[in-house]
Homo-oligomer: A and B are copies of this chain.
Amino acid sequence: MNKIKVSIIGATGYVGAELVRGFLGHPNVELKYLTSRSFAGQKFSDIYPVFRGVCDIDCTDTDYETVAKESDLVVTALPHGVSSKTVPVLIENGARVIDHSGDFRYKNLATYEKSYKLEHPHPELLAEAVYGIPEFYRDQLKDAKLVANPGCYPTCSLMALAPFLKAGLIDTKSIIIDAVSGVSGAGRKESLPYAYCEMDETFKPYGVVGHRHTTEIEEQASFLAGEENIHLAFTPHLAPFKRGMLATIYARPSDKFADVSTEKINEIYKDFYKDEFFVRALDLKVLPDVKDVNGSNFIEVNGVYDKDTGLIKLFSAQDNLGKGAALQAIQAFNAMFGFEENTGLSFVRGV
C-alpha cells in the first residue's frame, strides 16, 4: 500500500517534535515536509539530537501551497492567529489538515473572538472543523477536511466529565476543574521563568481567571450535556516535570443520579469507555497517576463520591504532549484515513 504523505508545519516546537516521533513509528506514513521558519536549512536532528539517526531530514521553509499539494495530510503546529490564515490555504490546495491552535476549536465565533481577542478571518470553517477527540467525534473524523486538535486541558477535563455530562448525572452549575501541567506545556522558548534553576521545585497556579481553555471546555461540555452555556471554574497549575497533566474535578450529582456511590461512578466509567483502547477506566479506588501515561496516548480516569460533602470527585491523567496534543492528533489521523485508531500508537514509556 502507498504510504500517506504527512507534513508538519511548525515542526520544531515540542508538539512538532512529538508529532515527528509518533509519525516516524507509524507503518503507513511517510514524513514529507517538516517546515520551520526559524530552523529552515537545519537537520531536524540538529535541533533535537534525540532524533539522530532516525530523523535527519532537513527542515524547510517550503511555501504552504507546495506543502499542501504534495501531502495528503498537513499538521499545523502554529500559534493561534497564524493558523487561521494558514489552514485555509492548505485546504484550498487539496490537503486535509489537523490544526493544533485554538483557531478552529470553537463553533461559536463570538466565544472564540472574545477568548482569543482576535477577529477570525475564516469563520466559515468553524462549522466544518471537527473537534478532534476521536472518542467523541469518530464518525465525523472519517471525512473531515479540517480537524481542530483539542487543547490539552480540555481533552483531560472533557474525557473525565463526558460520561456524566452525556447522561445528565451532574449539576452543570457546580463544576470545578483543578488541573496541573508539566512544563513542556509552555512550549520551547528562551524565557527566564522557564529556566531550569527557576522552574525546579516550583509548584504554582497561573492563569487562574479567564484561561482560554475555560471557554473551550465550556463549549464542548455544553455539547456533551446537550445544554446551552455551561459555565465552569478552571484553575491550571504548573508542576516541576517535563510532561504530564492531571485534572481533579469537583461536581454535585444531579437529581437524576440515583444512589450515587464510588462504585457507581466507577461502573459508569468502565461502561462508557469499555471499547476505547486509549482510555483506561481504572479499577475501583485505583487513581490516575501522570507517571503511568507519560510518553503515551493513554488517558486514565476514575472517580469517587465524598458523601460527607455530597460531592463527586473525578480524576484524569494524560501526557500533555501525548493524548493532550500530538499523539491524539495521530489517533485522529488514523480515524481520518481509515486505520485502526491505535496503529503505530500502542507504545508506553516503561520504567
Number of copies: 4
A194 on interface, CB distance cutoff 8 Å? yes
Of A87-95, A219-227, A241-249, the segment with at least 4 beta carbons within 8 Å of chain B is: A241-249
Chain B hits for A293, CB < 8 A: 50
Across the interface, do A52 and B298 meet the contact criterion of CB distance under 8 Å? yes
Digitize A194-209: 1 where CB-to-B-CB distance is under 8 Å, 0 elsewhere.
1111111111111011
- Closest CB-CB distance, A75 to chain B, in whole Å? 15
- Are B183 and A196 closer than 8 Å at their CB atoms? yes
Supposing A178-B248, A197-B14, A203-B244 touch, asked if A52 and B292 sit within 8 A by C-beta, the answer is yes
Please report the C-alpha to C-alpha distance between residue A189 and residue B195 in the assembled complex, in whole angstroms: 8
How near does chain B come to A85, taking the closest CB pair, in angstroms?
Answer: 27
Contact B196 A188 (CB under 8 A): no
Q: Does A82 contact B (CB under 8 A)?
A: no
A233: which B residues are within 8 A, CB to CB? 250, 306, 308-309, 311, 313
Q: Chain A: how many interface residues by the 8 Å CB criterion?
A: 88
29 A-B residue pairings within 8 Å (CB atoms): A14-B351, A21-B349, A50-B349, A52-B280, A53-B278, A176-B311, A178-B178, A183-B197, A189-B195, A190-B190, A190-B195, A191-B195, A194-B195, A195-B195, A196-B198, A200-B291, A203-B241, A203-B290, A204-B290, A205-B248, A205-B315, A208-B315, A231-B308, A231-B309, A232-B309, A243-B351, A295-B350, A321-B351, A347-B347
Residues of A at the B interface (CB closer than 8 Å) are: 14, 17-18, 20-21, 24-25, 48-54, 176, 178, 180, 183-184, 188-192, 194-206, 208-210, 214, 231-233, 235, 237, 239-244, 246, 248, 250, 262, 277-278, 280, 282, 287-296, 298, 300, 304-306, 308-309, 311, 313, 315, 317, 321, 346-351
